[in-house]
Chains A and B, each alone.
Chain A
Amino acid sequence: MARFILILLLSTTACLGYSQNYWSYDSHDLSLKIPEVSLITVMPVNYTVNLALSLPSKAGAQPGESAESKDDKTWLNYSCSLRPNDSYRKVYAQITTGYVPPGLHLDLEVKDLTKPGKGQVGKRYASSITLTNRPQVVVNRIGGGCTNRGSSFGHQLIYQLKLDDINQLVLKEPKTYLTITYTISD
């Protein structure tokens, strides 16, 4: 038995003494926090949409639609990052200050993207809506993605002022100011 232990000790000592690949290890954590993001803007920033009905070209004719009653120079941009298994986001549009004068209505057409975004961008919800002070869905199925930023990126917005009934048209002020608000939400 003593001889066996002696051989074992000598073998172990020899192994430790001549081993060429001693090793040691250590580690640390690395974390990455990505927040939930829902950002939306209308480009170009600080652009004001001006719409007007053109004057009748002859006596007896009604004010008509013209280039002045339509604007297609604004674009909806957004970035969205969702939690796993979150539902898609939507964009709502509504008039938040001011009102459309009686006899007129303001239509909004939202186009789908013509330039690629990144990830899952949304789709327009309807070909056209009439803007009111009630929020209406204009884009849906927005997942984790972004439209890219700037005019010509994202969803083109086309506003058109239309005449409903000239008999109701009573203009108290030469200009009416409206605020259109876009909200990205569940």
Chain B
Amino acid sequence: MKYLLAIFSIFIAHHLSFAQEVRIKGSVDFTFSQSNIKAGENYQLETESRKDGVIMDIKKLDRQSHWKITVYRNDINWDSRVGVYVRRTTNGNGNGTTWGGTNYVEIRSMPQTFLQGSGSLNNINLQYKLSGLSIEIPSNTYYTDIVYTLYEQ
């Protein structure tokens, strides 16, 4: 019985140590100031972040492992008039490949597929866009949490 428990523990440890994972580095801060507009003007309706402000890594997957990434947002304090979009601007590097996600996808409160691929990839750069910006939105600092989930298929 002791041997059986030991074998089981090794199996679990091995399984967990090689479990695939998605890692996100960076965050995005959109900041406006009075200098962005002149008297009488409204804000531009859309604005984009840097192309490499957030980096996604997909780790611990062998070349044949297929996966998908879903994305949703968890609003902490967000104005519903402002839409949030994401796209990838690089393919990443590693033993894998990815497809999809090069056009902006709106991030909603419900998860939806953003990327698919196979194998491990590092340095997939993500760019964000906000829409619906307006001078009507009360002055404040708004926050939302962008959640990516990796599924091995």
The segment out of A26-34, A60-68, A161-169 that lies at the interface is: A26-34
Chain B nearest CB from A1 CB (Å) reads: 10
Cβ of A149 and Cβ of B139 under 8 Å apart?
A: no
Q: How far is the CA of A35 from the CA of B4 in the complex (A)?
A: 64
* Cβ–Cβ < 8 Å partners of A80 in chain B: 135
* Cβ–Cβ < 8 Å partners of A150 in chain B: 40
Cβ of A31 and Cβ of B54 under 8 Å apart?
A: no
Chain A nearest CB from B119 CB (Å) reads: 15
Total chain B interface residues with beta-carbon distance under 8 A: 57
Cβ of B139 and Cβ of A27 under 8 Å apart?
A: no
What would 28 A/B residue contacts be, using CB atoms closer than 8 Å? A2-B1, A12-B8, A16-B12, A21-B152, A22-B19, A23-B150, A24-B19, A24-B20, A26-B22, A27-B24, A29-B28, A29-B146, A30-B143, A30-B146, A31-B27, A31-B142, A33-B142, A35-B33, A37-B135, A39-B37, A39-B39, A43-B40, A78-B39, A83-B139, A118-B136, A119-B135, A146-B42, A150-B40
Chain B interface (Cβ < 8 Å from any Cβ of A): 1, 4-5, 8, 11-12, 15, 19-24, 26-34, 37-42, 54, 73-74, 78-79, 82, 84, 128, 130, 134-153
Most buried by A among B1, B19, B22, B42: B42
Chain A interface (Cβ < 8 Å from any Cβ of B): 2, 5-6, 9, 12-13, 16-17, 20-37, 39-41, 43, 77-84, 86, 118-120, 144-150, 153-154
Cβ of A29 and Cβ of B19 under 8 Å apart?
A: no
Cβ of A32 and Cβ of B5 under 8 Å apart?
A: no
Chain B nearest CB from A93 CB (Å) reads: 15
